[in-house]
Amino acid sequence: MSIASKITLAVAFAAGLAATSAQAAPQGFLIDLTNMTFERGSGLSAEAAAFGSNGPVDLLKNGTYNETLTGDYAVFDNLPPSDEQAYWQTFIQISLNGTPFFTANQVVLESQDQVFAAILALTGLKPLVLNIIIAALENHNQISTGGIFDYAYNPPPKPPTDRSHGTFAVGSTELGLADDPLRVFESVSAPPGGANVWSLSFSATFFAPAPEPPRC
C-alpha cells in the first residue's frame, strides 16, 4: 500500500469519526491529520498512542503488518445533509517535516452533499462503505479487516467521550507500491537518522448562501 493510499484511507477513518463527532460551531467540516509517521518492513506492530488518561491502543493483528502509520487527528463536522448550494471556503494542505509542498485554497459553489462527496472522492470510498466505517467507529476503537487495513484510535467511544481529537494507528499486511507518487518526497526530505513526519489538513467552511436565481 502506497503512502498516498494510506493517507487517503486515514482520511476515510477521520471522516468517519467526524461524522460521529458533531459540534456546535460555524457550519463546516475539518480533518487534520498530523505527526503521521510510516514504517515499512515485516512483522510490524503499532498502537494509537496514549491520550489523556487512556493508555495506548494496539492494532488487533500486531506482529503481522508490513506497513504501519501512526499520528494525531482532529475532526469536526456539522454539515447536515442538504442539496442546497452555497459558497464554501475550501482548504487542503499536505506537509512533510513541517514544510508544505501542496496547498489549495479556493471558494467553491457546492451543496453540503457535494462537499462531503469530495471527501468520498478523495478516499475512493462508496457511501455504503463509509457508513459501515461510521457504524463501527461509533462502538469500537479497534477495527480489523483481516490485516489488509486495520484501525485503532484513542480516546475510546465508551463511556461517551469527546472523540473530536486524539491519536490513531493504521496497519496493513499489503506491500508498498514501487511507483508510490509520494515516496520521492521522502527520499529528498528525510531528516538524518529520523523518521519523516507527514501532515494533511482539509476543511470546508460556509462562506455565503448562493444568490437566488433571477425572477422572470
pLDDT the model gives residue 132: 74
Q: Are 18 and 193 in contact (CB under 8 A)?
A: no
**pLDDT at 49 (0 to 100):** 95
Reduced to 3 DSSP states, what percent helix, strand and coil does the chain have, rounded to the nearest 5? 20, 40, 40
Q: Which residue's C-alpha cell is 487542503?
A: 92
Distance CA 49, CA 63 (A): 17
In the block, cell 484513542 appears at 154
Instruction: Give the number of other Cβ atoms within 10 Å of residue 200's Cβ.
Output: 22
Domain segments of the chain as ranges: 3-209
- What cell does 75 get? 475532526
- What was the pLDDT predicted at 179? 47
Q: What single-letter amino acid sits at 93?
A: Q
pLDDT of 86 reads 83
Location of C-alpha cell 451543496: 111
| Residue-wise pLDDT tens digits, 45-77 | 999 999 988 999 999 999 999 888 899 988 877
pLDDT per residue of the chain (216 residues) written in tens, 0 to 9: 455 555 555 655 666 665 555 454 557 778 888 998 888 888 999 999 999 889 999 999 999 998 888 999 888 777 666 777 888 888 888 888 888 888 888 888 888 777 777 766 766 667 777 677 777 777 788 888 787 778 888 988 777 777 788 899 988 887 554 445 455 555 555 566 677 888 888 888 887 776 666 665
User: Against a cut of 0.85, is the pTM above it?
Assistant: no
CA neighbor of 200 nearest in space, from 73, 74, 93, 90: 93
Query: Do 180 and 3 contact (CB within 8 A), yes or no?
Result: yes
Amino acid 51: pLDDT: 92
Per-residue model confidence (pLDDT) at position 91: 86
